[in-house]
Chains A and B, each alone.
Chain A
Amino acid sequence: MVDLTLEIRKTAKELLEKGEAKVVLGWEKGNFPYSTTPVFIDKPEDTERLIWDEYCINNLALYMLDYKHLDGKVGIFVKGCDSRGINRLVQDKQLDREKVILIGLSCPGMKDEKKAKELGPNADIPMAQKCQDCRYPDPVVYDVFLGEKQNKKVPEKIDTSDVEEMETKSPDEKYRFFTTNYEKCLRCYACRNVCPACNCKECIFDQTATGWLAKANNVSNNMFFALTRAMHVGGRCIECGECERVCSVNIPIMLLNKKIIKDINFLFGDYDAGLETEERLPLGGYDYTDPEEFM
């Protein structure tokens, strides 16, 4: 991996010193060799905290929601997935593109923190699942670019072989699979809160008075949560895999998201969310020629 840490610090420092950005979002080293944590730098001297290594896995885009009303610009380091997250927020009119300075970084694929914990410091740590599935390691939008683009050859279409395998099972097998997984769900909402596609001001799952979702944790309520969430991010999911990565009980959440992506591609034409900012979302529009199954 090309060491861009020094360049990152320099760029951030310049942005802050010149007053072009009020704050710069990046990653700093965590307490373990295999951990990093998002960092928010607003003083030039603090830019020394910034790093770039194979564990800078967090998608930073969602933090832009916290800076919606900031008087000034925000500098943010973006990998491929972060940049798609930014596009998504701009597309949803949650973010003014003019107010962010995107510093692009080509992502070699980040390592799996969970595996690193299990295997120990000397092991050969595999790439995180979300990065193995990644099709856009280079940022799709940026203002400044550091390092060199990889222009890595990536699959043209999302790999949905696991979804297809699931589809072949019997209804009861499928139901058993998903319910055993969602029986574990703690409903901590980490998957929702980390998602750059989830940007509702008030989430349906928090409106307890409406009674849509009771706080009681049982498999029926958990499935309500899972399916409703999957539908709500349908067409918005940028496949960054953050939801699955942060799940504290390892639920394969992407199996639901990828199913919807696969069907959108099949039904309404290929669509990768977060590549541009003007087009209508698949579920925010329609076509007279859409498949007709309701006759």
Chain B
Amino acid sequence: MIVDTVRSRGEVPYPDADLLSVTELLSGDERTRLASLRQFFQDEVRPVATELWNRAAFPFELLPRLAALDLVGRNGRRDSALLTGLAVMEFARADTSLCSFFLIHSELFTEAIRTLGSDAHRRELLPALTDLTNVGAFALTEPDHGSDVSREMETTAERVGDEWILRGSKRWIGNASLADYILVWARDTGDSQVKGFLVEHGRAGLSTSVILNKIALRIVQNADVVLDDVHIPFDNWLPGTTSFRDTDGLLKNSRTWVAWQAVGQQFAAIDIARSYALERKQFGKPLAARQIVQEQLVRMVGNATTSLSLMIQLARLQEEDALRMEHAALAKATCSARMRETVAIGRAMLGGNGISTDFEMAKVFADAEAIYSYEGSYEINALIVGRAFTGLSAFD
């Protein structure tokens, strides 16, 4: 039973729990676009997501319709930072797994081609990527190295004549099993710098195995990737990648989009919790008519609304090209911490029904854990902010 949010919309004020009148910040065209994106996510994504999540299955059939939204940006078209953020939020509000699939493809892989690839890379790859007829993945973390992968990366790329030979293994790589291209980060044995390499699906020596039994983001196909003497042409190196620092721009923005996901997750929890509290009766009156429940709803809305407010400032910094890594780290840490409290309150509001995905909330609650831990754990992001604010590094 998907709780009928639409029905309850007509019955309560602030039907979308938007206490900020946030669309006032958009132009007329942007408002129209956001409304149609939102409608797509709510009508086409949300209703199918829970069943996919239960089966840990990926909906290839959805890709053409998703491509039609032109979210990846055909021919260089870009939405504003705020509209993009709100779109990510609304996507995650409908389903976080599919939103994550999309962000890996669009904001990590495609954006890497755009900003770090050669002209030839862009010319050859972008059309199919923006149309979602090709899908990309981004392979950075390794089995033994997550937060410290920049210093401790073990995967290597050895230049031999006109080729690179890649060796090593990667873990937790989203989309890897179904991707046409994987952007593999490896340490060049020549100069010991970390660089990015395109590895096409089907290359000899490349193998992927999907990570099963996840409790979060179950639609996303994460894989262990093994690179066993994978030979690729020299040109598969992205010329914009000469050291690990070149990931900064990508990671800064992707951290920001993940923070937007954390906002979307909160509104998803609010949508479900409010509808449930209005419909579920206890001792003859709705849960929503009880003080404890109202205070919990308001705490959720307070968390979500302040998180959204923070992200509006992040979007401003992005537009002004003033966004720094510590801003993105602050946003990611802050919004994901709020999210964790928000979904925990919401989960409990549904009682026993909150542990069945049939009521959606269990999925939202579980997905929050992935958001909290990926793109840098809470602690790592906090220490990035701490370093910026105190001038002292406390990573080790």
A binds B: no
B contact residues vs A (CB 8 Å cutoff) = none
A contact residues vs B (CB 8 Å cutoff) = none
